[in-house]
Amino acid sequence: MSPIINDAYYDEGVYSVSGFSVVSGNTSVVSEDVESVLTDQLQQTINRRPTFIKNKSNQKVRIGGADPHTFQKTLNAYRQNAHNATDPALQFQYAKFLIEAANDQYENSSSSSNIKNKNDLFDEGFKFLKKLSNAGYPDAQYYLASSYNQDGEWDKAYPLYVQAAKHNHPIASYEIATYYESKKNYKKASQYYKKSASQGYSLAMYRLGCAALRGEMHMRKDIKNAIKWLKRAAATATKENNGAAAAYELSVLYEDGYPPSIYRDELYSLELLVQAAELDYPPAQYKLGWCFEYGELGCPTDAVQSIHWFLLAAENEEPNAQFSLAGWYLTGAEGVIEPNDKEAFEWAMRAAKQGYVKAEYAVAYFYEMGIGKEKNMKEALHWYAIAAEHGDER
């Protein structure tokens, strides 16, 4: 049975969003140069809902399992709560719920009735999002913008990102900053990065830190300023916000030292490297594996630890780690892993397919010598040619 949507529920004046009033046909006013036209533009550009492509990281929403009646009963109760709510956060969560349920409750279903049910849920969720967005609720504006962006419709995403940024949504500010940077408008990019960073968004802090470190975006090189931003980013880093890159960058700085701004500190460098690796940052995982293989940064030589970190990075598609893991399988490690030419070939191939030149040469050699695969001179010549094109002189 299709969800029943009461159109009167969406009439103006049925509900309001705290801090903003809902006015028919309008959004919150935006000023400043080109952004001043966004009130009308926003209204015009979000008339068609995005496709709401399923986010792979989303958990499944399977209310009532395979029982449509239970799902519908629960959905109706949730809808009634949202209908009576004045809290925009609850209404926003309900809108997201509808979209996730549409993707998951009717996943892999091709029947016409289920396709209609799915689209009805999308439409209802979109109407909530659009209403909240028009009323100036930044999470809804950002969610809609990201959905349009996923569809490749930047012209629809941009004004919504700007609206959300105006209402202090840090990730929306970051998205606008990256857009302006891509257009080489470094003044605007810097403004939005700083706005996002001031609201605690780690990736914006990281970008400002790297820009100050390398003199990018027309900034002068400033090690002290770079360290300030990178430390702030590392302090707030989680697996979700990708701030681990800042901890890794700081680790490299303290490994080498930049007197008089910072002095070499291997112990602190290792501490930062471990932080980044444990936050699932592949370059840090590879570097830690390398440190345990060769006894660098005060690490003992430890095959178990080395292989462990190489494997984590390799599974995260880090080609350096994949190639290093191939080396471990080729030689073996006493008491840890037996030599395994087939595994060595497979890991080298995964790295080669990512354009890692040393791995391309290794795969060619494996084919030539019959290591981990049957001898195949045609494939060997193919991979030697690829490695040569990429600069391997051998």
Give the CATH number of the domain where residue 331 resides. Answer: 1.25.40.10
| Domain match, 156 and 172 both | no
For position 170, what pLDDT does the model report? 96
For position 103, what pLDDT does the model report? 77
User: Does the structure show a pLDDT above 80 at 182?
Assistant: yes
Could you say which DSSP state residue 243 is in?
T
| Domain match, 290 and 220 both | no
| Domain match, 236 and 148 both | no
pLDDT digits (tens, 9 = 90+) for 209-265: 999 999 999 999 999 999 999 999 999 988 877 789 999 999 999 999 988 888 999
Assess contact for 88 and 46: CB atoms under 8 A.
Answer: no
| Domain match, 124 and 197 both | no
pLDDT digits (tens, 9 = 90+) for 73-84: 777 766 767 676
Mean pLDDT of 3-9: 35
pLDDT winner (highest mean) among 30-34, 252-256, 332-336? 252-256
| Domain match, 2 and 136 both | yes
Domain of 331? 286-394
| Domain match, 127 and 246 both | no
Which of 242, 260, 280 is the last residue in one of the domains? 280
- Separation CA 187–CA 370 (nearest Å): 57
For position 109, what pLDDT does the model report? 64
| Domain match, 347 and 212 both | no
Please report the sign of the dihedral spanned by the C-alpha atoms of residue 236, residue 239, residue 240, residue 245.
positive
Distances (CA, A) of 140 to 43, 63, 79, 237: 14, 24, 18, 24
> How many domains, in total, are found in the chain?
3
Alpha helices in the chain (DSSP H): 38-45, 68-84, 88-105, 112-134, 138-150, 154-166, 170-182, 186-198, 202-214, 223-235, 244-256, 266-278, 282-294, 303-315, 319-331, 341-352, 357-369, 377-389
User: Does the structure show a pLDDT above 60 at 60?
Assistant: no
Which of 280, 304, 331 is the last residue in one of the domains? 280
| Domain match, 42 and 150 both | yes
pLDDT digits (tens, 9 = 90+) for 259-286: 888 899 999 999 999 999 999 999 999 9
Contact partners, residue 394, CB within 8 Å, separation at least 6? 361, 387
Which of 164, 184, 209 is the last residue in one of the domains? 164
| Domain match, 331 and 229 both | no
**Mean per-residue pLDDT over the chain, rounded:** 83
For residue 22, the SS3 value is coil
Assess contact for 229 and 237: CB atoms under 8 A.
Answer: no
For position 335, what pLDDT does the model report? 87
CA atoms within 13 A on the CB side of 108: 2
Token pair for 334: 């006493």
| Domain match, 141 and 174 both | no
Mean pLDDT of 39-58: 63
| Domain match, 2 and 24 both | yes
Mean pLDDT of 30-56: 58
What does residue 258 show for φ and ψ, rounded to 5 degrees? Answer: -135, 70
Phi-psi region for residue 39, left (φ > 0), alpha (ψ -120 to 50) or beta?
alpha
Q: Which of 386, 307, 388, 294 minimizes the C-alpha distance to 347?
A: 307
Q: How confident is the model at residue 180 (pLDDT cuts 50, 70, 90)?
A: very high
For position 272, what pLDDT does the model report? 96
User: Does the structure show a pLDDT above 90 at 118?
Assistant: no
User: Does the structure show a pLDDT above 80 at 66?
Assistant: no
pLDDT digits (tens, 9 = 90+) for 126-146: 888 899 999 999 999 999 999
Q: How confident is the model at residue 16 (pLDDT cuts 50, 70, 90)?
A: very low
For residue 169, the SS3 value is coil
| Domain match, 48 and 185 both | no
Assess contact for 144 and 160: CB atoms under 8 A.
Answer: yes
pLDDT digits (tens, 9 = 90+) for 347-369: 999 999 999 999 999 999 999 99
Token pair for 389: 């094109």
Q: What is the identity of the amino acid at 235?
A: A
